[in-house]
Amino acid sequence: MRRSLLILLLVLASALVIAACQKQNNGDDDASPAPDDDTTIDDDAVADDDQIDDDTSPPQAQNFHFDFKFEIAFAAHMTMKQYSDLTLTAEFTPEQRFDVIAANAPLEGEGKLVLLPESYGRMIMLKFQGPALNRGPCGSRPVSYAMALTAKENNGYLVGSVTAYCGADTYTGHPARVMRLSGLQERK
């Protein structure tokens, strides 16, 4: 136990040095996403049902951008259009490759914003199709990705998953891998 504590202290000390160096580089502190209103979606970003029913003109889109932490230590980016009927289109680009996903190869997908009033929640759900990677658990099969991002109320910080399934248009069964995503939803 004492040995663990000693190692922990050494590790923390090293980490603080590294963190301090990094801070000098970019000044970023991911523990506290910017809380100001500019970075979170506002009430107008969510269309209500009346708007959907009455709106016969082409749906208006709002544009959003995400800089994600992908699997905690890596980066991914997404641009997203949200239409007045709450449908979404998006382009998701991870910077890091894993056995079920390629790096820097944009994935285009669509989905919807789900409002959950009984839990003051909202969820962004998107689906993407990716090519076969010829490696990892999916081998020569194409890979399908389900994204589910969750937040409460209109808070801008979303946390969730991008889950890889082996096979084209496959979003059920045993996933090949569940990967983590988190980041701020920012209006473009």
Partner 1 sequence: MKKKLLIPMLLILILVLIAGAAEAQDFKYALSIFHCNIQYVIGGLYGFVFPPEFVNWDLGPDQTENMIIVQGFKPILDILQDHPDWTFTVEMQAYYAEVIAARYPDILQELKDLVDGGQVELVSFHYSDQMFIGFPYQDWKHSIDLTKKTFADLGLTLSGVVFCQEGEGAEGMATRMAEEGYDVMAWPVNLWRYLHGEPSEDPYYNFGDVHMIIAAKSIHDTVHGVDVSWTYMDDGELMAAGGIDPYFPWFFNTKPKAVAEYVAGVQALADQGYKVSSIGGYVQDMIDAGIPAADPPPLLDGTWQPDSTDGTSRWFGHRGLWGKDERDNHVRSLNMMAHREIVAAETAAQVAGLDRADVLAEAWRQLIIGETSDGTGINCFKGEVEFTIASSAEAFRIAHDVIDEAKQALGLDHVLIDSAAGTVIPGDFAWPGAAVAQGPFDVKIKTTKRTWKTKWFRLEGPPETYRLEISFSAGADNHAREIYVTFPGNTSDIITTTALIDDEVRTWRRADFTFLSGHWYLPGPIGLFGLGNDWWLVKDMANVHVIARIEDGSNDLRIEDESAPWFETITWDFYLMHGTDAQALALADSINVHPTLAR
Q: Which stretch binds partner 1 (CB under 8 A): 55-63, 81-89, 100-108, 177-185?
A: 177-185
Task: List all residues 6 or more positions away from 175 whose beta carbon is below 8 Å from its beta carbon.
Answer: 163, 164, 165
Q: In the set 69, 81, 141, 187, which binds partner 1 (CB under 8 A)?
A: 69
Nearer to partner 1, 93 or 150 (CB): 150
Contact 179, 145 (CB under 8 A): no
Q: Encoding tokens for residue 122? A: 């909202």
Least distance between partner 1 and beta carbon 124 (Å): 10
Nearer to partner 1, 30 or 108 (CB): 30
Contact 124, 149 (CB under 8 A): yes
Angle at Cα 144 formed by Cα 143 and Cα 147, nearest 5°?
135
**Separation of alpha carbons 102 and 182, rounded Å:** 19
Residue 44 found at the interface with partner 1 (CB under 8 A):
no
Nearer to partner 1, 69 or 77 (CB): 69
Three-state SS at 1:
coil
Contact 182, 69 (CB under 8 A): yes
Q: Which of residues 74-133 bind partner 1 (CB under 8 A)?
A: 74, 98, 114, 116-121, 123, 125
Residue 23 found at the interface with partner 1 (CB under 8 A):
no
- Contacting positions for partner 1 (CB under 8 A): 1, 3-4, 7-8, 11-12, 14-15, 18, 22, 31-35, 49, 69, 71-74, 98, 114, 116-121, 123, 125, 146, 148-150, 152-155, 157, 159-161, 163, 171-175, 178-182
